[in-house]
């Protein structure tokens, strides 16, 4: 079951900054988002729940030090993935 990905304004800004600074991350980010939409529990993504200030959110890995923070939300009667942020481990946590 493929889920729709909704991009928050913060995610779009962070992704643009990231790709502008490191163009090689563009294809990696794109492939990771496709995989996330297909199966958020894919072991390759290392998806995990977050705690503390980000409780209720989830994160997945898009490479060694690249993380995507997201939430599962309801949108038009279906569960979708709301992308919140992307960046290095230190940037998003």
> In this structure, what CATH number is given to the domain that contains residue 70?
3.30.2310.20
Is the distance from CB of 29 to CB of 86 less than 8 angstroms?
A: yes
Could you tell me the two tokens for 67? 């993380």
Q: What is the domain range of residue 85?
A: 5-92
Average pLDDT (28-53) is 96
DSSP per-residue string spanning 41-71? T-GGGT-EE--GGGTT-EEEESSSSEEEEEE
Is the distance from CB of 80 to CB of 1 less than 8 angstroms?
A: no
Q: What is the pTM of this model?
A: 0.94
With residue 6 as reference, give the H or E element that holds it: strand 5-7
The total domain count for the chain is: 1
How do residues 47-59 score in pLDDT, each as one tens digit? Answer: 999 999 999 999 9
Q: Average pLDDT of the chain?
A: 95
How do residues 71-92 score in pLDDT, each as one tens digit? Answer: 999 999 999 999 999 999 898 9
């Amino acid at each position: 079951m493929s889920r729709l990905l909704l991009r928050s304004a913060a995610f779009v800004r962070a992704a643009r900054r990231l790709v502008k600074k490191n163009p090689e991350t563009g294809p990696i980010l794109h492939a990771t988002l496709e995989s996330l939409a297909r199966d958020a529990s894919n072991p390759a993504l290392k998806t995990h729940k977050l705690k503390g200030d980000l409780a209720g959110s989830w994160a997945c890995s898009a490479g060694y030090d690249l993380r995507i923070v997201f939430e599962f939300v309801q949108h038009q009667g279906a569960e979708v993935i709301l992308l919140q942020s992307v960046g290095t481990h230190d940037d998003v946590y």
